[in-house]
Copies of this chain bind each other. A is one copy, B any other.
């Protein structure tokens, strides 16, 4: 979607421009973000931005695509997702790699959250819908496998189980993100231990529920 001129730039320059755009869009939202600021921050002239992208919308869209791809690569790279148990998945998705990524690339994580939670409205809707669908169908397969293997109860329909699981996963992810953000993207040993403990408790709630 960017013009060919952009693709001919060296990686560093491309990345600098995209990161500058991401920073600005994350801080100000689409409307209040200015192309002037993005250009200045990336150390290029405003005109150059328009050599690379046909307009501001395209710049946002490509920044979002780039960030999401980066994000997914980082995760896929190190997590062998296939053939995992739902509960293992829950633990793995919230731990280690994700926390690293969050500490290393807080801006990208925050920006991808913006995209996924609809901060840019219609502009990035198609993109985020697609990702949601992918993640959803993956979770669904975990649940179905769980039923087959006998680790997940089968008296309740897939859709309800999915909603239940998603709710807990999303809320937990948000909580972890806020926690790290509040500590300026560091994480003390105690905080880490604390969050591991919480994860295990959460798995217990997923498995056995909160009633008694």
Interface, chain A (partner B; CB < 8 A): 29-32, 86-87, 117-119, 121, 150-154, 156-157, 159-161, 163-172, 175, 198, 201-202, 204-212
The secondary structure that dominates the A interface is helix
Q: A208-B208, A209-B206, A212-B152 are in contact. Are A171 and B161 (CB under 8 A)?
A: no
Partner of A207, one of B165, B198, B202, B210: B210
Q: Which residues of B contact A208 (CB under 8 A)?
A: 208-209, 211
Query: How many copies make up the complex?
Result: 2
Q: Which residues of B contact A154 (CB under 8 A)?
A: 212
Question: Could you tell me the distance between the alpha carbons of A211 and B146 in the complex, rounded to whole angstroms?
Answer: 9
Contact A211 B201 (CB under 8 A): no
Contact B211 A164 (CB under 8 A): no
Contact A156 B201 (CB under 8 A): yes
